């Protein structure tokens, strides 16, 4: 039986670890409300989402994908083709401009310090957005661009998407398969992790292959964070975390944002929106039982993946929090998963 307080799930503030709304074709309608997709400002208010990591992402050319050979010799999925630094910088700059405009218009606040996260939790002002680059191709290998991006508001960086770049190697979308799919970080990748730690930019390990994960762990520059991943023991996708990886996240004081993407939740890997909402809770419960509630958070992948119809979009977040309560999580545990665990890791990575 779960323990509920007077505060209902509908008013528990939520911080979400990943969305791709800025890269959607209808991004211009985020402020006023979009007809489709998963996230906009009005629906954020309705669902109680007071903050989130907003991704700047450069897509690959789908006609240039590279086939990946499984251990059994079967070609299952393609590894996304690399993108160049000039192209990625242009895409990311445009998306960042959209985010900055939302801030200028008073629709969002860009989080530049942990105090900004606290303010969004405690007041009724605009929600807070953490600027995040998904796949570090927008940064040159000399890392000169990192300071510019930091000045623009960058506070979170995914080293790779599901493709290779100058810094490391992402996992192809394969299942059933291990995340151990290739070599680790390059020399430039290790330098980038160190520089992010010096500057105060959180390093995100979602999409990174297993050898790269362990390279970041060995550097020991900050808590290990996977912003939007699932549990490999429940769904054997390359995108999900093994038990050893979960244990390392705990040891570092880090967090895993449980993804809402149907093929990373289901044991059959189906990209099927008719997926029970309870599977998100099941992944969170597995992680909480293994490494503790303090290391579990939410990382939806809104506007970047197929999510359960029962949730539908960001306005449905209270339904998910109710499912957590029905799954045996206490109100205090839900509040930690929904907000406080993200706040802790930001405070560890950021400066000021």
Residue pair 233/282 in contact (Cβ under 8 Å)? The answer is no
What whole-number distance in Å separates Cα of residue 185 and Cα of residue 197? 16
Pairing outcome for strands 128-134 and 109-110: parallel
318 belongs to a structural domain: yes
7 belongs to a structural domain: no
Residue pair 152/193 in contact (Cβ under 8 Å)? The answer is no
DSSP assignments along 128-146, one per residue: EEEEEEESGGGS-TT-HHH
> In this structure, what DSSP letter does residue 313 have?
S
pLDDT in tens, 252-309: 999 999 999 999 999 999 999 999 999 999 999 999 999 999 999 999 999 999 999 9
User: What local confidence, expressed as pLDDT, does residue 2 receive?
Assistant: 36
DSSP alpha helices (H): ranges in the chain? 41-47, 85-104, 114-122, 144-152, 187-199, 210-219, 243-252, 278-291, 317-326, 331-335, 341-349
User: What local confidence, expressed as pLDDT, does residue 75 receive?
Assistant: 35
pLDDT in tens, 125-139: 999 999 999 999 999
Residue pair 313/39 in contact (Cβ under 8 Å)? The answer is yes
4 belongs to a structural domain: no
Residue 209 sits at φ, ψ, to 5 deg, of -75, 170
User: What local confidence, expressed as pLDDT, does residue 78 receive?
Assistant: 59
- Residue 314's domain comprises 14-349
The CA-based dihedral angle spanning residues 199, 203, 208, 211, taken in that order and rounded to the nearest 10 degrees: 70
63 belongs to a structural domain: yes
Q: Is the peptide bond before 176 cis (omega within 30 degrees of 0)?
A: yes
3 belongs to a structural domain: no
Retrieve residue 79's tokens: 């590894």
CATH number at residue 91: 3.20.20.140
**Residue 284 Rama label (left phi>0; alpha psi -120 to 50; beta):** alpha
- Name residue 110's beta-bridge partners: 129
User: What local confidence, expressed as pLDDT, does residue 257 receive?
Assistant: 98
Distances (CA, A) of 143 to 1, 172, 194, 260, 281: 51, 26, 11, 33, 39
Which positions ≥6 away from 184 have C-beta within 8 Å? 168, 169, 209, 211, 212, 214, 215
What whole-number distance in Å separates Cα of residue 235 and Cα of residue 256? 15
8 belongs to a structural domain: no
Q: Is 74 helix (H, G, I), strand (E, B) or coil?
A: coil
Q: Number of structural domains, the chain?
A: 1
327 belongs to a structural domain: yes
**Other C-beta atoms lying within 10 Å of the C-beta of residue 73:** 6
Blockwise average pLDDT, block size 10, the chain, 352 residues:
39 96 89 94 97 95 58 52 93 96 97 97 95 98 97 98 96 93 97 98 98 98 98 97 98 98 95 97 98 98 97 97 97 98 98 70
Distances (CA, A) of 24 to 40, 58, 213: 11, 11, 29
User: What local confidence, expressed as pLDDT, does residue 329 receive?
Assistant: 97
């Amino acid at each position: 039986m779960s323990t509920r307080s007077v505060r209902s799930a509908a008013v528990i503030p939520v911080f979400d670890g990943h969305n791709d709304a800025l890269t959607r074709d209808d991004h211009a309608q985020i402020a006023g409300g979009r007809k489709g997709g998963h996230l906009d400002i009005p629906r954020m208010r309705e669902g109680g989402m007071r903050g989130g990591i907003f991704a700047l992402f450069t897509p690959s050319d789908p006609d240039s994908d590279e086939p990946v050979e499984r251990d059994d010799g079967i070609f299952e999925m393609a590894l996304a083709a690399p993108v160049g630094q000039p192209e990625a910088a242009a895409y990311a700059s445009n998306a960042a401009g959209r985010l900055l405009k939302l801030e200028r218009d008073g629709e969002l606040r860009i989080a530049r310090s942990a105090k900004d996260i606290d303010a969004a939790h405690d007041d009724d002002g605009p929600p807070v957005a953490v600027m995040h680059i998904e796949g570090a191709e927008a940064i040159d290998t000399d890392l000169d661009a990192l300071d510019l991006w930091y000045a623009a508001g960058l506070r979170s960086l995914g080293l790779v998407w599901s493709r290779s770049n100058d810094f490391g190697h992402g996992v192809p979308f394969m299942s059933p398969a291990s995340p151990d799919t290739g070599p680790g970080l390059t020399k430039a990748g290790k330098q980038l992790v160190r520089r992010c730690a010096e500057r105060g930019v959180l390093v995100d390990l979602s999409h990174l292959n297993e050898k790269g994960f362990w390279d970041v762990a060995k550097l020991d520059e900050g808590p290990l964070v996977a912003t939007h991943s699932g549990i490999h023991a429940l769904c054997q996708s390359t995108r999900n975390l093994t038990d050893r990886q979960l244990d390392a996240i705990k040891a570092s004081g880090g967090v895993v944002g449980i993804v809402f993407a149907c093929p990373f939740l289901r044991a059959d890997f189906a990209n099927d929106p008719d997926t029970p909402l309870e599977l998100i809770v099941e992944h969170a419960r597995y992680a909480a039982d293994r490494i503790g509630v303090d290391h579990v958070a939410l990382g939806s992948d809104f506007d970047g993946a197929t999510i359960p119809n029962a949730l539908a979009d960001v306005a449905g977040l209270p339904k998910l929090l109710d499912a957590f309560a029905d799954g045996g999580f206490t109100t205090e545990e839900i509040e930690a998963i929904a907000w406080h665990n993200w706040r802790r890791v930001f405070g560890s990575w950021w400066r000021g």
